[in-house]
Amino acid sequence: MLVRMLFPLTSDARSTTVWLGIWLLALSVVPVQPAIARTPDLAAGQDVYFSICVSCHGPDGHGADTHIPSFIYRERLEKDDVTLRRSIRDGVPDRMPPWGGYLDDDRIADVLAYIRHRFGGGQGRR
């Protein structure tokens, strides 16, 4: 029944093949919708960085003391985005407070993008 609906004019094997071809062609031109990736807002990320993160991670990406990673030396930036976003959201026990209560997922993505953009080039060296 379904086959009859999909291939209305099917009367023999050859036209079935033709219809199948048409369907495959049609399916191949329908674009597969990718998960819509939001472009991070670097300006919003900068605002977050300078209102919350700067006191420990420093205006120029230097950790304020030796226990705090220096982004300017790419410390921790080798970790992937998923891991770092989770650290920012949930904090690091006994080390960094969780920021998930202040920042939603978009803002967390923004501030991480800002950190990578601003400090991720490995400008410093240790």
Q: Give yes or no for a contact between 40 and 110, defined as CB atoms under 8 angstroms apart.
A: yes
The Cα–Cα gap between 123 and 72 comes to 6
Interface with ligand HEC, residue 116, by CB under 6 A: no
* Residue spans of alpha helices (H) in the chain: 2-6, 13-29, 42-48, 54-57, 81-90, 105-119
Q: How far is the CB of 125 from ligand HEC (least distance, A)?
A: 19
Q: Give yes or no for a contact between 7 and 19, defined as CB atoms under 8 angstroms apart.
A: yes
Interface with ligand HEC, residue 111, by CB under 6 A: yes
Binding-site string for ligand HEC from residue 46 to residue 85, where x marks contact by CB under 6 A and - marks none? --x---xx-xxx---------xxx------x--x---xx-
| Closer residue to ligand HEC, CB minimum distance, 17 or 55 | 55
Q: How far is the CB of 40 from ligand HEC (least distance, A)?
A: 12
Q: How many CB atoms lie within 10 A of CB 87?
A: 18
The Cα–Cα gap between 80 and 123 comes to 19
| Closer residue to ligand HEC, CB minimum distance, 19 or 62 | 62
Binding ligand HEC (rule: CB under 6 A), the pick from 3, 95, 104, 105 is 95
Residues that bind ligand HEC (CB under 6 A): 48, 52-53, 55-57, 67-69, 76, 79, 83-84, 87-88, 92, 95-97, 99, 111
